[in-house]
């Protein structure tokens, strides 16, 4: 993949201090910085002053003091990370609280939590008064490397994940690595799912690097891709490497399988499917398993999963513009969206995947 158009998409990483890096998402008047490092949450009052907000609504899934004083009167709302709270009902209830507080469209919403919290707060901000500024303070590795960056906000429907949402770019993202210190081990491994998939879309070789560097490079990759395709009409699809199966695994396990874990298994599967289609050589297929295992991520299908159920869910994937099966797959020109993949081949590849009891 070296020299592929994807690699050239990485945005520059600016060194602000010994433990402070900055990446910009360049989107014209909607451009914004992503600060990464220990203590960067304390930039919040500066960010709020730059926005010019006079009030802030803080939606926080961590202890309420995890968010520094924003420097303006603030409403602090406790939230819970997790797919169960990613509902339109929750968005409506947040917006009602904003109204009661007197939040205007020149004020700011601040989210602090994992990707589900930044998603819900981002959607509430996108809809409230047809759009109010939002700043994200992601606290999980998964949210720092992916979910909080790029402006996708969404909630789930019973039929599937992230089926209702909006593009709403934050005004700043503060990825404070101090938040990661208290992350449960399983949640940290979960974040590596997105870093593992980044290996195949332009950010290889991050295993074993310091976490701040892993975050900065993953964010630089994402920023570069989003700057070229904000609305997911082409290049941005590559960010969903491993996600078609990943999302289906989350859904059929009723979200017992975490997002990054699903993406990890989905990445192994994407390699195998690309191999079955003759798009990549066996050593590249094997690299998928090696990278995923190297991060300590799951790489087998959970026990008791019926491949037919996975296929049924994958047909509803947002990347599909028809009823066929669509995947982001590696190939001679790098990763790209491949529509209408033969269902029998998908089923055969799923059936041949290692299953947990045989792993």
- Residues in contact with ligand GLY by CB under 6 A are 146, 150, 152, 232, 236, 239-240
C-beta of 152 vs 199, nearer to ligand GLY: 152
Smallest gap from Cβ 65 to ligand GLY, in A, equals 30
Q: What is the end-to-end Cα distance of the chain in Å, rounded?
A: 29
C-beta of 136 vs 152, nearer to ligand GLY: 152
Smallest gap from Cβ 226 to ligand GLY, in A, equals 7
C-beta of 85 vs 146, nearer to ligand GLY: 146
Cα(103)–Cα(112) distance, rounded to whole angstroms?
18
Residue 39: Cβ-neighbour burial (10 angstroms; 0-12, 13-18, 19+): middle
C-beta of 328 vs 338, nearer to ligand GLY: 328
CA angle, corner 327, sides to 323 and 330, nearest 5?
155
Q: What tokens appear for 126 in the block?
A: 């996108």
Smallest gap from Cβ 234 to ligand GLY, in A, equals 12
C-beta of 41 vs 236, nearer to ligand GLY: 236
Q: Which residue is nearest to ligand GLY (CB)?
A: 239
Cα(51)–Cα(33) distance, rounded to whole angstroms?
13
How many C-beta neighbours within 10 Å does residue 256 have?
Answer: 10
Smallest gap from Cβ 279 to ligand GLY, in A, equals 21
Smallest gap from Cβ 146 to ligand GLY, in A, equals 5
Smallest gap from Cβ 18 to ligand GLY, in A, equals 30
Residue with tokens 């169960």: 84
C-beta of 233 vs 323, nearer to ligand GLY: 233
Smallest gap from Cβ 47 to ligand GLY, in A, equals 22
Cα(33)–Cα(173) distance, rounded to whole angstroms?
7
Please choose, from the candidates 165, 140, 137, 142, the residue with its C-alpha nearest in 3D space to the C-alpha of residue 152: 165
Instruction: Could you list the beta-strand ranges (E) of the chain.
Output: 13-17, 20-25, 32-37, 56-60, 74-78, 108-113, 133-138, 152-157, 160-167, 172-176, 325-329, 336-341
C-beta of 8 vs 233, nearer to ligand GLY: 233
C-beta of 70 vs 193, nearer to ligand GLY: 193
C-beta of 242 vs 275, nearer to ligand GLY: 242
How many distinct helices (H) and strands (E) make up the chain? 11, 12
Residue-by-residue DSSP string for 153-210? EEEEETTEEEEEEEE---SEEEEEGGGGGG--HHHHHHHHHHHHHHTTTT----TTS-
Relative to beta strand 172-176, strand 133-138 is parallel
Smallest gap from Cβ 150 to ligand GLY, in A, equals 4
Residue with tokens 């990707």: 115
Residue count (the chain): 359
Please choose, from the candidates 115, 124, 121, 109, the residue with its C-alpha nearest in 3D space to the C-alpha of residue 53: 109
C-beta of 133 vs 143, nearer to ligand GLY: 143
Cα(357)–Cα(84) distance, rounded to whole angstroms?
28
Smallest gap from Cβ 321 to ligand GLY, in A, equals 16
């Amino acid at each position: 993949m070296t020299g592929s158009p994807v690699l050239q998409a990485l945005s520059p990483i600016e060194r602000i201090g010994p433990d402070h890096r900055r990446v910009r998402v360049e989107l014209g008047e909607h451009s914004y910085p992503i600060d990464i490092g220990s203590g960067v949450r304390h930039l919040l009052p500066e960010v709020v002053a730059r926005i010019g907000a006079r009030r802030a609504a803080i939606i926080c899934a961590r202890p309420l003091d995890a968010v520094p004083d924003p420097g303006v009167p603030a409403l602090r709302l406790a939230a819970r990370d997790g797919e169960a709270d990613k509902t339109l009902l929750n968005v409506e209830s947040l917006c009602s609280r904003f109204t009661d507080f007197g939040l205007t469209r020149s004020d700011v919403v601040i989210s602090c939590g994992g990707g589900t919290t930044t998603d819900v707060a981002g959607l509430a901000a996108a809809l409230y008064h047809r759009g109010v500024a939002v700043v994200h303070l992601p606290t999980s590795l998964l949210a720092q490397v992916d979910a909080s960056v790029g402006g996708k906000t969404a909630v789930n429907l019973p039929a599937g994940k992230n089926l209702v949402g909006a593009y709403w770019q934050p005004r700043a993202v503060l990825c404070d690595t101090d938040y990661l210190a208290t992350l449960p081990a399983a949640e940290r491994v979960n974040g590596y799912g997105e870093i593992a998939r980044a290996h195949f879309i332009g950010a290889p070789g991050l295993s074993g690097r310091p976490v701040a560097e892993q975050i900065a490079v993953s964010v630089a990759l994402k920023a570069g891709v989003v700057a070229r395709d904000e609305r997911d009409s082409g290049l941005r699809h590559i960010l969903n490497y491993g996600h078609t199966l990943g999302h289906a695994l989350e859904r059929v396990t009723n979200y017992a399988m975490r997002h990054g874990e699903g993406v990890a298994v989905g990445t192994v599967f994407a390699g195998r499917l690309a191999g079955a289609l003759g798009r990549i050589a066996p050593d590249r297929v094997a690299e998928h398993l090696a990278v995923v295992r190297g991060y300590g991520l799951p790489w087998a299908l959970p026990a008791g999963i019926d491949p037919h159920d996975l296929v049924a869910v994958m047909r509803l994937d947002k990347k599909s513009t028809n009823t066929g099966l669509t995947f982001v797959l590696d190939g001679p020109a790098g990763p790209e969206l491949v529509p209408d993949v033969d269902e029998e081949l998908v089923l055969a590849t799923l059936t041949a995947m290692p299953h947990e009891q045989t792993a």
